[in-house]
Chain A
Amino acid sequence: MPKSLYISRKQELPLKGDSTSLFLQVIISIAVFIFAITLSGVLSVNTMLYNWNRSILGSLTVQIMPVNDTNKEKAAAQTLAHQEKAVEFLQNVDGIIKVTPLTDEQLKQLIQPWLGDGVNLDSLPIPRIIDVKLAPDAEINFVDLAQKLAQTSSQASVDNHKLWLSKLIRFADGLKLIASTVLFLVTIITSGAIFYTTRMSLGLHRNIIEILHIMGAKDTYVAQQYGKRMAFLGFCGGCLGLFFAVPVIFFISSLAVQIEGGIISEASLSFGDWITIFSLPLFSMFIAMLTAYYTVKRTLQKML
């Protein structure tokens, strides 16, 4: 067998020996660690929001507060008039399929556990109640609905758990926004680190790159070698970061589960979410590879 067959091919650019390799791997590991935990947080909040939305029944309750007047009969009549206005308004809202004002008898039944039998509603400032059924696919903006209803009848207010939940949803959306910003910043910082270490390495290997160019190498030839090396570092760093992140995610999840019946216990990760988290090393690999590749191409145009 010819001697040359034993010769293994070495990369023209000795990137394995770069002192920046370890630094980059650590940076990428930390980035993926933060990314994985933040991403799991975002995905959990998404699940939580989905569960909350699903749990909301297709109904709401409208209260008509009693009109305050010394003439009780007049006050009762005005309250009923407000109720009629509210009913008329609600019947014309898209997505509402049924509007049922509660009768005196039904109201008595409602307050009976607290006030006992034989209550005369006329003598008490009891609000009138309207039960509203929503279509299953109704897309109603409840804040907007409450505002319009208040304009129709000053005594009317929407008593809807979605109104309460919407504040939580807004809070959760805020959390998601913060988390997304963190994810964005982590990606930018990691790309920045790759950008600068790649440029540093290009300066370090300038002589070799000059030789390669004189031999007829295109910029892509050099860029591919950097891309491959950074892809390897990105993948290894990503795996390392994930290795440390997964136990932390499990720990946080177990803490959330311990809050039984609470809002946070709704926050869990689905199988798809776990696939997303476990694909992070691939993501870091692509980010590292593309950043290095385009950094080299851009830098070489200025350098040589």
Chain B
Amino acid sequence: MGENTNIIEMHNVGIRYDQGPEILSDIKLGLKKGSFHFLTGKSGAGKTSLLSMMYLAQKPSRGSMSVFGKNINFANRDNLAALRRRIGVVFQDFRLLAHLNAFDNVALPLRVCGMDEREVRKRVTELLNWVELDAHMQDTPDTLSGGEKQRIAIARAVINRPELLLADEPTGNVDNFIAAKLMKLFVELNKLGTTVVIATHSDKLINDFAYPRLHLQNRHLHIIQPAHYSMLREKADA
């Protein structure tokens, strides 16, 4: 896949649940390889729905969508599984497996791929050290704080060195120091070629990092470049 190829492409994508109204309509998006975007919008704007389509938890109700060049409308279950292995996801509510300890939770994507257990142990230990949770390896999520769970969730998302990282409010439950450290991790991953999309409400985050925004408003997606965003902010401040 070349530098200018789109990791995700959406053409007139719409999504609805059952017979309800469309949550998102006519979404057109080309997410370039190696890009970094914030996903913004009010609560209920459809950020989680858009992300869930991106991590292939659900298919669009209409329109066509390609992920890593594969049209998912025609992908079978095994194809989808193979594509999902290239995507890391951080959920807003962490979605850690309560009966597994921190180590096993982080190891999950590697074991699902059938990686050798020695390599799994090496990689997981390294990453848990990096997120400063090596002392909590054998602790289950219910004994960890919100911030610690968040870090476990992020470690699980990046352990497999994904080509696409999708994060839903990844810094929502951590202090500023940890938030900065996690953002540094995302930026480093992005520099190494990982495409990153972070859903956030944090103005600070958006201001601190000059990345374009995918903004959801009235069921539609608008792409706002950082310069344009700054201009809007200045106008609003004035």
**Residues of A near any B CB (own CB < 8 A):** 2-7, 9-10, 12, 14, 17, 207-208, 210-219, 221, 301
Q: Is the CB of B84 within 8 A of A215?
A: yes
Identify which of B99-107, B188-196, B199-207, B224-232 touches chain A. Answer: B99-107
A5 to B212, CA, bound (A): 43
A4 & B100 in contact (Cβ 8 Å cutoff): no
Cα A216 to Cα B214 in complex, Å, equals 26
Chain B residue nearest to A5 in the complex (CB): B121
Flag if A212 contacts B101 (CB, 8 Å): no
Identify A216's interface contact among B84, B95, B104, B125, CB under 8 A: B84
B97 lies within 8 A of A215 (CB): no
Tell me the count of chain B residues lying within 8 A, CB to CB, of chain A: 34
In the complex, are the beta carbons of A4 and B121 less than 8 A apart?
yes
Q: Which residue of A lies closest to B80 (CB)?
A: A213
Q: Is B124 an interface residue (CB 8 A)?
A: yes
Residues from chain A with a CB closer than 8 A to the CB of B46 are: none
A to B CB contacts below 8 Å, 28 in the list: A2-B121, A2-B125, A3-B125, A3-B134, A4-B103, A4-B124, A7-B101, A7-B137, A10-B99, A10-B104, A12-B97, A12-B108, A211-B95, A211-B97, A211-B108, A212-B108, A213-B81, A214-B55, A214-B84, A214-B89, A215-B108, A215-B112, A216-B81, A216-B82, A216-B85, A216-B86, A216-B113, A221-B112
Q: How far is the CB of A195 from chain B (nearest CB, A)?
A: 21
Kindly state the separation between the CA atoms of A217 and B81 in the bound complex, as whole angstroms.
6
Residues of B within 8 A of A6 (CB): 138
Least CB distance, A75 to chain B, in whole angstroms? 88
Residue on A nearest B52 in the bound complex, by CB: A214
CB distance from A207 to the nearest CB of B (A): 8
Whether B141 sits at the interface, judged by CB under 8 Å, is: no
Q: Is the CB of B99 within 8 A of A216?
A: no
Q: Which residues of A contact B86 (CB under 8 A)?
A: 216
User: A214 CA to B112 CA in the complex, in Å?
Assistant: 10
* B132 interface residue per 8 A CB criterion: no
Task: Tell me, rounded to whole Å, the shortest Cβ–Cβ distance linking A203 to chain B.
Answer: 17
Q: Is B78 an interface residue (CB 8 A)?
A: yes
User: A212 is contacted by which of B107, B112, B134 (Cβ under 8 Å)?
Assistant: B112
Whether the Cβ atoms of B134 and A213 lie closer than 8 Å is: no
Query: Whose C-beta in chain B lies nearest to the C-beta of A6?
Result: B138
Query: SS class of chain A's interface: helix, strand, loop or mixed?
Result: helix
Contacts A2-B121, A216-B81 known; list 6 others, CB within 8 Å. A3-B134, A5-B121, A9-B111, A213-B84, A216-B85, A216-B160
Which residue in chain B gives the minimum CB-CB distance to A211?
B95
Q: Which chain A residues lie closer than 8 Å to B112 at the CB level?
A: 212, 215-217, 221
Are A216 and B121 also in contact (CB < 8 A) when A4-B103, A10-B100, A12-B97 are?
no
Interface status of B109 (Cβ within 8 A of chain A): yes
In the assembled complex, which residues on chain B have CB atoms less than 8 Å from the CB atom of A17? 99
- A91 to B109, alpha carbons, bound, how many Å? 82
A residues near B111, Cβ cutoff 8 Å: 9, 12
Which 3 A-B pairs rank lowest in CB-CB distance, beginning with the nearest?
A216-B85, A216-B84, A217-B112
From A297, which residue of chain B is reached at the shortest CB distance? B77
A219's contact among B55, B77, B97, by CB below 8 Å, is which?
B77
Within the assembled complex, what's the spacing in Å between the Cα atoms of A12 and B101?
11
Choose from A9, A14, A212, A217 the contact partner of B99 (Cβ within 8 Å): A14
**Which residue of B82, B100, B121 contacts A12 across the interface (Cβ within 8 Å)?**
B100
Docked pose: A270 CA to B134 CA in angstroms: 62
Report if B238 contacts A (CB, 8 A).
Answer: no
Cβ B77 vs Cβ A218 within 8 A: yes
CB neighbours (8 Å) of A218 from chain B are: 77-78, 81
Rounded to whole angstroms, the CA-CA distance of A207 and B91 in the bound complex is 13
B117 at the interface (CB under 8 A from A): yes
Query: Are A3 and B81 interface neighbours, CB within 8 A?
Result: no
Instruction: Name the B residues within 8 Å of A14 (CB-CB).
Output: 99
B57 on the interface (CB 8 Å rule)?
Answer: yes
CA distance A301 to B97 in the complex (A): 22
B194 → chain A closest CB, angstroms: 16
Residues of B within 8 A of A217 (CB): 81, 112
A30–B75 alpha-carbon span in the complex (Å) = 44
Q: How far is it, in angstroms, between the C-alpha of A211 and the C-alpha of B134 when the chains are bound?
A: 23
Cβ–Cβ < 8 Å partners of A4 in chain B: 103, 121, 124-125, 137
